[in-house]
């Protein structure tokens, strides 16, 4: 079996961003702290999957979860410094998509 020549760190980073909805959750939080329902409605993700992604991203140190002790308890999610550093990368992907990705309605 041939060993991969791709940098293991790069491979792990791509694997993380490749998980379904992960990049969209990060992109959504680039605008600032948001509550669960706001993220969910903005990107159209199921609550179960969003919960899994938020936990994983928190474990990876990409997002921070802040509990606001009110009645009812409020929870806000925001990007950490590590998460914010993904901003320019996601913006470049957005720029690339504007130039090169066609939507089905644009294809003829």
Q: Look at residue 3 in the predicted model and tell me its pLDDT.
A: 67
What's the number of domains the chain is made of?
1
Give Dmax (Cα) for the chain.
58
Q: Does pLDDT of 108 surpass 70?
A: no
Residue 48: domain span: 34-99
∠ CA 60-61-64, nearest 5°, is 125
Per-residue pLDDT tens over the stretch 21-67: 999 999 999 999 999 999 999 999 999 999 999 999 999 999 999 99
Q: Does pLDDT of 105 surpass 70?
A: yes
- Domain presence at residue 105: no
Q: What is the C-alpha separation between 102 and 33, in angstroms, rounded?
A: 31
- Domain presence at residue 60: yes
Residue 61 sits in a domain whose CATH number is: 1.10.10.10
- Domain presence at residue 27: no
Q: Look at residue 103 in the predicted model and tell me its pLDDT.
A: 87
CA distances (Å), origin 68, targets 20, 39, 47, 71: 29, 17, 20, 9
Per-residue pLDDT tens over the stretch 58-93: 999 999 999 999 888 899 999 999 999 999 999 999
- Domain presence at residue 24: no
* Cα dihedral: 31, 68, 51, 19 (round 10): 40
Confidence category of residue 106, pLDDT binned at 50, 70, 90 = confident
What percent of the chain is predicted at pLDDT more than 70? 95
- Domain presence at residue 6: no
């Amino acid at each position: 079996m041939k060993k991969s020549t791709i940098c293991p760190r790069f491979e792990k980073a791509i694997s993380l961003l490749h998980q379904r909805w992960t990049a969209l959750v990060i992109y959504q939080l680039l605008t600032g702290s948001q509550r669960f329902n706001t993220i969910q409605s903005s990107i159209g993700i199921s609550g179960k999957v969003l919960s899994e992604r938020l936990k994983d991203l928190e474990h990876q140190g990409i997002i921070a979860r802040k509990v606001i002790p009110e009645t009812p308890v409020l929870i806000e999610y925001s990007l950490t410094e590590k998460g914010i550093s993904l901003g320019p990368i996601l913006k470049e992907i957005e720029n690339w998509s504007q130039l090169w990705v066609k939507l089905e309605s644009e294809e003829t």
